[in-house]
Amino acid sequence: MADQDARSPVGIEPPALSVLRWAEPPEGPAVVLLDQTRLPSQEVELVCADVPALVRAIRTLAVRGAPLLGIAGGYGVALAAARGEDVARAAELLAGARPTAVNLGYGARRVAEAYRCAEEKRAGRGQAASAALAEARALHREDAAASARMARYGLDLLAELLPDGPHRLLTHCNTGALVSGGEGTAFAVALRAHRKGRLRQLWVDETRPLLQGARLTAYEAARNGLPFQVLTDSAAGSLFAAGEVDAVLIGADRIAADGSVANKVGSYPLAVLAKYHHVPFVVVAPTSTVDLGTPDGAAVVVEQRSGSEVTEFTFPGPASAGAEAGASASAPVGAQAYNPAFDITPPELVTAIVTEEGVISPVTGVGLAELCARSSQVTIS
Ligand SMILES: CSC[C@@H](O)[C@@H](O)C(=O)COP(=O)(O)O
């Protein structure tokens, strides 16, 4: 279905900027982000010099995606510590900035705990702040390592599920280096497939309303020379019907104890389509995204976002422009909109969950606890 021109690599220079970095004085202390609301047209850094600025960046999706939110939350707490602020309060502010991605609270609370332990050992404030920063850095490194392992396990799984080789993979939202300390989750599997000569096509759902697929995944796919095409979310059905999808690969914001998967809105319809068309639906997420404290999908808090994201097109996004500056209406003035940021895919629609500790079939959620226990990730109550 894809013609040759559309499939040839776009080839764009890699960005000079880090997705997220810690800045020391005199530039910092600060958490410096690649502002994802400006991509793909502009690569611009956003300097968050205090926790409220970072909370704003998280809410406006300048920084986003579950694993990166965890890393940002961790550095945010380190920032509060470096500024001599109330670290426990900063951790709660950051953890509450967005409700669905469990990694955000995980990262913030883990670094706050490192700070508290250092204080308990009667370290001075400066030493406790250093301990917090070291923990944030450890979290960042662990995520990069987890990403590489998930890519390996994920591609091995695809080889088992789809022995006939080069794969046509469909993905939703953005799950690459822009959400990770490494190369990402689901996208990292596609990238590895490409490097091994086993990717025929990456289908990129545009991901309404904020276009994380079209703006961000396509940007990453182009930079890495992947063969890809963007499609509207509503075109996925006809793509499956035409037999053009070999597997769906997505990430997750929270995986409940029963194996239910919360991910970007639009994931659940893809899972239903995949089931109908007998196509594997594979979730790729680190064990830090598994939340054994959430029993099932019904218990996941799904973030509801402003209806204006649906009724107005505003790009560059809200962090940089604001509705007044350059928004164009896509619905009549005053129209109300239903805008959940995530949906829940029940375990019976998920073929497998790939983590850095291994792969499980989530039909009963059995095995998730075991994988989490194997993980080197620190447990935070
Ligand atoms: C590894 S990324 C997995 C998810 O975080 C990703 O698919 C997603 O839904 C991100 O949503 P976003 O609202 O852009 O933060």
Ligand 1 atom at minimum distance from 185 CA: 1
Query: What's the CA-to-centroid distance between 251 and ligand 1, angstroms?
Result: 7
Give the pLDDT mean for 242-271.
97
Ligand 1 atom at minimum distance from 285 CA: 1
Query: What's the CA-to-centroid distance between 252 and ligand 1, angstroms?
Result: 7
Q: Are 77 and 90 in contact (CB under 8 A)?
A: yes
Q: Are 283 and 173 in contact (CB under 8 A)?
A: no
269-284 per-position pLDDT tens digit: 999 999 999 999 999 9
pLDDT exceeds 60 at position 287: yes
Q: Are 259 and 365 in contact (CB under 8 A)?
A: yes
Q: Whose C-alpha lies nearest to ligand 1, atom 10?
A: 65
Query: What's the CA-to-centroid distance between 123 and ligand 1, angstroms?
Result: 37
Query: What's the CA-to-centroid distance between 230 and ligand 1, angstroms?
Result: 17
232-245 per-position pLDDT tens digit: 999 999 999 999 99
- Residue that the structure tokens 């508290």 belong to: 116
Written as six digits, the tokens of 63 are 């920084």
pLDDT given at position 377:
60
107-156 per-position pLDDT tens digit: 999 999 999 999 998 778 899 999 999 999 999 999 999 999 999 999 99
pLDDT given at position 366:
64
Distances from the Cα of 197 to the Cα of 191, 202, 220, 354, angstroms: 10, 13, 18, 21
pLDDT given at position 328:
87
pLDDT given at position 327:
72
pLDDT given at position 372:
86
Give the pLDDT mean for 30-52.
96
> Is 212 part of any known ligand binding site?
yes
Task: Give the residue among 138, 141, 135 at the shortest CA–CA distance from 77.
Answer: 135
Query: Which residues does 32 contact at the CB level (< 8 Å), separation at least 6?
Result: 18, 20, 21, 22, 23, 45, 46, 47, 48
Query: Which residues does 317 contact at the CB level (< 8 Å), separation at least 6?
Result: 36, 37, 38, 60, 61, 62, 210
> Is 66 part of any known ligand binding site?
yes
Query: Which residues does 355 contact at the CB level (< 8 Å), separation at least 6?
Result: 146, 150, 153, 285, 286, 287, 290, 371, 375
Q: Whose C-alpha lies nearest to ligand 1, atom 9?
A: 264
Ligand 1 pocket residues where CB is under 6 Å = 61, 64-67, 101, 173, 175, 179, 185, 212, 251-253, 263-264, 341
Give the pLDDT mean for 195-211.
97
Written as six digits, the tokens of 41 are 């047209």
**What backbone phi and psi angles, to 5 degrees, belong to 227?**
-75, 120
- When the pLDDT of each residue in the chain is averaged and rounded to a whole number, the result is 91
Q: Which ipTM was obtained for this model?
A: 0.98
Q: Are 262 and 296 in contact (CB under 8 A)?
A: no
Q: For the whole model, what pTM was predicted?
A: 0.92
pLDDT exceeds 80 at position 253: yes
Band of residue 315 on the pLDDT scale cut at 50, 70, 90: low
Burial class (CB in 10 A: 0-12, 13-18, 19+), 49: middle
Q: What is the DSSP string of 198-260?
A: -EEEEEEE--TTTTIIIIIIHHHHHHTT--EEEE-GGGHHHHHHTT--SEEEE--SEEETTS-
Query: What's the CA-to-centroid distance between 160 and ligand 1, angstroms?
Result: 27
- The secondary structure element, H or E, covering residue 23 is strand 20-23
Distance CA 229, CA 221 (A): 9
Q: What is the DSSP string of 257-298?
A: TTS-EEEETTHHHHHHHHHHTT--EEEE--GGGEETTS-SGG
Q: Are 248 and 163 in contact (CB under 8 A)?
A: no
Give the pLDDT mean for 216-229.
97
pLDDT given at position 125:
86
Give the pLDDT mean for 360-381.
72
Q: For a substitution probing ligand 1, which of 179, 261, 302, 353 has the most ligand atoms within 8 Å of its CB? A: 179
Ligand 1 atom at minimum distance from 69 CA: 15
Confirm whether 3 is a catalytic residue.
no
Band of residue 373 on the pLDDT scale cut at 50, 70, 90: confident
Give the pLDDT mean for 57-77.
98
Distance CA 119, CA 111 (A): 12
> Is 65 part of any known ligand binding site?
yes
